[in-house]
């Protein structure tokens, strides 16, 4: 699929600064790292969680545990998507029971991914509290469920025809956040 890049809203340095701020907001809110547990949502939430854990470690001298969720089996659109999405592994080291979880994803849009992640998390145990941190929040206007982020890197109001792409060196050649326009035909299907 061809995308037309419309704007580059963050570069690597800005992503780094946003993550540093989110990390310090989290430890301030939690009065340190006690019972703190970061959970990245695959794919791009995982490297963001790892980077945030590093930053928290710089601030507090303690690195919180990092888990990863693959929400494929909890999606609500499995009966409508065409080819079956590939199932990847979920890894939650240790026990999430009683922990303060911060879910981390790259973009918050409809909220459906987060709903799936919450359902999955609860199947692994009963955390004391679950919060949400995202690098990009596309705004309430597109939300399809009553879900909001507790920590937001950047609020970016967008049109439905637009897609936010977060590029991270762990997966991509480049690092940054870009807004792309989806081709007209794909916009209807999506």
Choose between 86 and 185: whose C-beta lies nearer to another protein. Answer: 86
The binder of another protein chosen from 81, 184, 185, 189 (CB under 8 A): 81
Q: Which stretch binds another protein (CB under 8 A): 34-42, 83-91, 154-162, 175-183?
A: 83-91
Choose between 11 and 95: whose C-beta lies nearer to another protein. Answer: 95
185 sits near another protein (criterion: CB under 8 A): no
Query: 40, 57, 53: which is closest to 106 by C-alpha?
Result: 40
Q: 97: how many CB neighbours lie within 10 A of its CB?
A: 10
Helix (H, G, I), strand (E, B) or coil at 94: coil
39 sits near another protein (criterion: CB under 8 A): no
Q: Which of residues 89-108 bind another protein (CB under 8 A)?
A: 89-90
1 sits near another protein (criterion: CB under 8 A): no
Please work out, in degrees rounded to the nearest 5, the angle formed at the alpha carbon of residue 150 by the alpha carbons of 10 and 77. 80
73 sits near another protein (criterion: CB under 8 A): yes
84 sits near another protein (criterion: CB under 8 A): yes
Residues 162 and 181: their CA atoms lie apart, in Å, by 5
Report DSSP letters for 36-76, one per residue: EEEEEETTTHHHHHHHHHHHHHHHHS-PPPEEEE--GGG-T
* Binding footprint of another protein on the chain (CB under 8 A): 70, 72-75, 78-84, 86-90, 119-120, 123-125
């Amino acid at each position: 699929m061809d995308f037309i890049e419309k704007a580059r809203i963050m570069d690597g340095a800005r992503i780094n600064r946003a993550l540093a701020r989110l990390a310090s907001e989290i430890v301030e809110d939690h009065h340190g790292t006690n019972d703190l547990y970061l959970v990245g949502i695959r794919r791009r939430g995982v490297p963001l969680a790892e980077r945030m854990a590093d930053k928290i470690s710089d601030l507090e001298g303690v690195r919180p545990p990092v888990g990863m969720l693959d929400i494929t089996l909890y999606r609500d659109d499995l009966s409508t998507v065409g080819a079956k999405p590939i199932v990847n592994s979920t890894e939650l080291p240790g026990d999430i029971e009683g922990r303060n979880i911060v879910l981390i994803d790259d973009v918050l849009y409809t909220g459906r991914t987060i709903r799936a992640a919450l359902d999955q998390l609860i199947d692994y145990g009963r955390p004391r509290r679950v919060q949400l941190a995202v690098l990009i929040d596309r705004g309430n206007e597109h939300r399809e469920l009553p879900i909001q982020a507790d920590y937001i890197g950047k609020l970016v109001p967008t049109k439905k025809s637009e897609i936010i792409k977060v590029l991270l060196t762990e997966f991509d050649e480049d690092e940054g956040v870009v807004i792309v326009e989806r081709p007209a035909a794909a916009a209807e299907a999506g």
